[in-house]
Amino acid sequence: MARRVPVQTRIGFTILAWGIALLLFSPILWTIVTAFKTEAEAIASPPTFLPQTFTLDNFGAVQDRSDYVKHATNSIIVSVGSTLLGLLIAIPAAWSMAFAPTKRTKDILMWMLSTKMMPAVGVLIPIYLIFRDLRLLDTVHGLTLIMTLINLPIIIWMLYTYFKEIPVDILEAARMDGAELWNEITHVLIPMAIPGIASTLLLNVILAWNEAFWTITLTSGRAGTLTAFISSFSSPQGLFLAKLSAASLLAIAPILLLGWFSQKQLVRGLTFGAVK
């Protein structure tokens, strides 16, 4: 029988949840509002919340200074391409660790996770030199490769967790019916793990989209993503808050919309196998 929760407790937790959500969303809300202010109003003291003079000039100035469409296209190619490439590598790897483990499997998983604990700047010089020698600097495919490598441990860990929740008996039944390894993965495992794979895909698209260190370091102009697009509005000439906010809004709008429309699938995938 479900436990009864007093009405006052539910109201209190609801208010607390909304308060935390508004606190977390407040920087994004302030960015959205500032994008429609004039530069003078954006730096006014004391600040005003709602624009006194509503303007769209900042978005025109941003587009005139930088090619938004080109940067957005690069972001889509890098984030989606690196995630799909990561899934192509991670699904067989997670299958082997979940259903054919060895005594070194746990050590390998911990080693992969430990690579995410290293500061990115710690491997900057060797990666930069490798990219220079291979002529991958300021290229979309080079950026896609590095995004795949830095997010691969997360993809494997997430898929490994989801695959562990799938009964081994189902896969063994497929083998008894004559399914080969490829058919077992593509026709049995993947369809059962679709919620987990979808949430992994969405989460890693967001991570790759928001990555700033490598995109700014390894690109200059041709392969620049939206994070480089935003950073270009912080210049020695000054910090133009209204234009910077407009550029930030243009950069985060696609991923905000993606997260909004896919939130049910994301939550479903993240809780996949949590309740038995």
pLDDT tens readout for residues 45-72: 888 888 888 888 888 888 888 888 899 9
The CATH number of whichever domain residue 118 belongs to comes to 1.10.3720.10
pLDDT at 89 > cutoff 80: yes
Q: Are residues 139 and 13 in the same domain?
A: no
What's the Rg (C-alpha) of the chain? 23
163 with 94: CB under 8 angstroms? yes
Q: Are residues 50 and 98 in the same domain?
A: no
Total domain count, the chain: 2
pLDDT at 276 > cutoff 50: no
Q: Are residues 179 and 228 in the same domain?
A: yes
Q: Are residues 71 and 201 in the same domain?
A: yes
Q: Are residues 31 and 94 in the same domain?
A: no
Q: Are residues 72 and 123 in the same domain?
A: yes
Q: Are residues 43 and 98 in the same domain?
A: no
The whole domain housing 33 covers 7-56
Let me know if residue 245 belongs to a domain: no
Tell which wins on pLDDT, 166 or 264.
166
Let me know if residue 273 belongs to a domain: no
Does the predicted TM-score (pTM) go above 0.75? yes
Q: Are residues 129 and 48 in the same domain?
A: no
Mean pLDDT (the chain, rounded): 86
The pLDDT tens digits for 213-266 are: 999 999 887 888 998 888 877 665 556 788 888 988 988 888 888 877 777 766
Let me know if residue 100 belongs to a domain: yes
Q: Are residues 95 and 184 in the same domain?
A: yes
Ramachandran area for residue 37 (φ above 0: left; ψ -120 to 50: alpha; else beta): beta
Distance CA 34, CA 32 (A): 6
Q: Are residues 24 and 141 in the same domain?
A: no
List, in order, residues 6 or more apart from 188 with CB less than 8 Å away. Answer: 170, 171, 174, 179
Let me know if residue 38 belongs to a domain: yes
pLDDT at 3: 66
